[in-house]
Structure 1
Amino acid sequence: MILKLTQAIDLNALRKGLLAAALLALAGCTIAKPRTDDPWEKFNRKVYHFNVKVDNAVIRPTAVVYRKITTPNMRRVISNFFANIRMPITIANDALQGEIKDALKSTGRFVINTTVGFLGFFDPASKLHLPQQESDFAVTLAKWGVNEGPYLVLPFLGSTSARDVWRMPVDGRLFDPMGYYSRTHDYELGREYWPSMLFLVTLRARGIDAENIVNGAYDPYIFYRDAYRQRRLYLIYDGEPPFEAIQQLQGVQLDDIDALLEEQQDYEKAQRDAEKKDPH
């Protein structure tokens, strides 16, 4: 439904509207404090468990095969390519946020890696002190002063929020070259979507290395939720969130922290006891 609505909007008018909104909003807005509540938790947990089942049945096995048939260097080169081809998303949103210096740096990185770096497979720009930066339309909305809204888990897509969900149709429709490619081509077997699918597989393959951390968490749902919120906070503040925002995100109730630590310790003890009873 969201994609159909965005397709019905005149792109030139939308771009002009975004630029106008950016100029007005940047005049005096402040970034809203991060939320720590989860009013849609009941729904989110159901979708989270559905996504875990889909991941275990299809996505993770595909990522495992991808890792088996590729070397670390091959995966690095492919990841470089996707990071480069998605750079227009960051460039456009930096401009909408009024971060012209960052937009120019990202543009320089994109040009260098696309040419000297052979379509982005290699990363000479980093050696020229143009490190990779990341931004999206959700970060733009945050810097315009739009509240985060409730945390949300979507089928197949995973963690997002009522604000962050808009980066998918807006960035995908306006700024993502892979989105443009899939819309303007029509091949047999849906081959126009293969680049996007390979990109998702590369992301999942990278996550395999962190699975032990997630599996050791008392409540993986909470782990993913808090990790997502923390990552978004660092993106919004360009990697340097103020202490007040970090404190707000983590919470300051010592009783709650102690309770969570106790639950984690009980969970780890139960896991050790189970392993002793059944070492296989």
Structure 2
Amino acid sequence: MKNLLSRRRSMLATSFLLVLTFAGAQVHAQTVQEPSPDSSTPVNTSDPYESWNRRVFSFNDAIDRWFLRPVAQAYRTVTPDIVDRGVTNFFNNLTEIRNFSNSLLQLKGESAVVAAGRFTYNTVFGLGGIFDVATAFELPERPEDFGQTLGYWGLGSGPYLMLPLLGPATPRYVTGMATDGFLLPSAWDEVDSPETYYLRGLQLVDRRADFIPAEQFISGDRYTFVRNAFLQRREFLINDGKIMKDPFADDDDFMLDDF
């Protein structure tokens, strides 16, 4: 019961990590004109709630502009690069248990071995994950989550959604996120409250700070940019790096290789 309560508290804190997570992707978006109510132009079925999504996006963007980004900018100013990288590596290492669990659920034995190896190397030889020694041993990260697991077994993503505070999502993505947070084993289970909240807050600021340098690549309509970045990123992960043609993108240079 205590572990379940701890997972629920951790999941609540995790929701804030998704605010504009994809605002730093290095992609180009095309400006989309929202159709008027009497327009004969059909609504794209992948984003049937665009009017609502845009309003929620404006709300999330305001929170980021007036609170999250200034804090992240201050963090970048006072934190040495080596410390910043160590913090990022530490939190990335905690996701390896999730990667391992979902690799097994997707019958990806090699990916499961890589995740286990990365967690062991980085925890033991990387001082708790502060140093990413596994990559130096030619064990690059293979991110896997339960949303990818659902996609692997044929469940469709559903319509695009922009959720308050949680940011861009789809029904499959939200279901996967909840399952990862509540049911699958996680290294976060070993962290007691209130330390969990302190670490989650640091993770949020660190992740947002890492995206600041890439903001210069944002162009066009910001809502479309975030939507395209999210959908292509999820497709990239679910298909293990094989991206199909994005239904929202009109040009061929819209790539997520560096995202």
**Alignment match of 2:115 (pick from 106, 129, 133):** 106
CA shift, 1:181, in A, is: 4.6
Q: Which residue number corresponds to residue 177 of structure 1?
A: 187
The aligned residue for residue 196 of structure 1 is 200
Change (3 A) 1:72 1:186: closer
Unaligned runs of 5+ in 1: 8-34, 259-280
Larger Rg, first or second structure (1 or 2): 1
From 199, 218, 223, the counterpart of 2:220 = 218
Q: Which of residues 229, 236, 239 is equivalent to 1:237?
A: 239
Output one character per residue of 1:160-195: Cα deviation in whole Å (capped at 9) or x when no partner: 1111011222111223322x256xx344xxx43111
Contact 1:181 1:192 in 2 (8 A): no
Question: What SS does the corresponding residue of 2:202 show, helix, strand or coil?
Answer: helix
Other-structure match for 1:133? 142
CA shift in 2, pair 1:224/1:251, >3 Å: closer
Residue 251 of structure 1, CA deviation: 5.8
Alpha-carbon distance in structure 2 between the residues aligned to 1:136 and 1:66: 28
CA contact (8 A) 1:116 1:124 kept: yes
**Do the aligned residues in 2 keep the contact of 1:136 with 1:167 (CA within 8 Å)?**
yes
C-alpha displacement of 1:73: 1.6
User: Counterpart of 2:229 in structure 1: which amino acid?
Assistant: A
RCO comparison, higher one (Cα < 8 Å, 6+): 2
Cα distance in 1 for partners of 2:75, 2:99 equals 27
After superposition, the CA RMSD in angstroms is: 2.2
Please give the residue correspondences for 1:20-35 in structure 2 after superposition, counting only pairs within 5 Å: none
Answer yes or no: is 1:95 the counterpart of 2:99: no
Q: Please report how far the alpha carbon of residue 36 of structure 1 lies from its aligned counterpart in structure 2 after TM superposition.
A: 6.8
Q: If the length of structure 1 is used for normalisation, what is the TM-score?
A: 0.70
Structure with higher helix content:
1
Q: Aligned in 2, Cα 1:36/1:75: closer, same or farther, shift over 3 Å?
A: farther
Aligned with residue 169 of structure 2, among 143, 160, 170: 160
Deviation for aligned residue 1:220: 0.5
Equivalents in 2 of 1:110, 1:100: separation in Å?
16
- Report the Cα offset of residue 105 of structure 1: 1.3
Going from structure 1 to structure 2, the CA distance change for 1:79 and 1:56 (only over 3 Å counts) comes to same
TM-score norm. by structure 2 comes to 0.76
